[in-house]
Amino acid sequence: MVDKVSEEIAKKVITKDHSSKENGFLIEMFKSEDGSKTEVYLSAAITQAFKGYHLHRVRAARYVCVKGRMRIILYLPEEINGKTKWVREEHILDANEPKRLFIPKNIATGLENIGNEEGWLINYPDPAYDPDLKDEQVEYTQKELEQGIVK
């Protein structure tokens, strides 16, 4: 429990797309009491930027858009005739009409800023982000998802 006023640096990480072009940033907003895990973070996307695709093998995501307008593109795995196929689903999150979006683990996710300003999403991952978990996040291209590739 924190029982005194304190100040600490909030880590900010510049993010890039698959072609290494800057597309926004992340800020670790709240850390676990021992400082080892990120409990809440802000994911920002510059105007018209795309972030993704990736899925988490362990963590679910909980998004709320607090600035701008974001399209959340999901690819959900579905078994069809013994073969996995990715099924596309889209959700719009808008800061002017706040709502929460829960995304379970093992769903490929992409974030697209469709507004005319920076888009900001707050994510409260469950469980908290643990940098010691290796291979927990899996990167995909849209082509891989459309071809049904499972990593």
Cα(47)–Cα(81) distance, integer angstroms: 41
Cα(132)–Cα(44) distance, integer angstroms: 24
Pairing of strands 83-94, 69-80: antiparallel
Domain 12-146 has CATH 2.60.120.10: yes
Instruction: Name the nearest CA neighbour of 102 among 89, 115, 117.
Output: 89
Cα(49)–Cα(45) distance, integer angstroms: 6
pLDDT given for residue 77 in this prediction: 94
pLDDT digit string (tens) for 8-28? 899 999 999 988 999 999 999
Instruction: Name the nearest CA neighbour of 150 among 63, 61, 87.
Output: 87
- pLDDT tens for the chain, 151 residues: list them: 668 998 989 999 999 998 899 999 999 999 998 989 999 999 999 999 999 999 999 999 999 999 999 999 999 999 888 888 999 999 999 999 999 999 999 999 999 999 999 999 999 999 999 988 888 999 999 999 999 888 9
pLDDT given for residue 20 in this prediction: 93
Q: Is the CA virtual torsion 105, 19, 63, 43 positive or negative?
A: positive
Ranges assigned E (strand) in 57-139: 61-67, 69-80, 83-94, 100-103, 108-113, 119-123, 137-139
pLDDT given for residue 62 in this prediction: 97
pTM greater than the 0.85 cutoff = yes
Segments making up each domain of the chain, as ranges: 12-146
- With contact defined as beta carbons under 8 Å apart, do 100 and 91 qualify? no
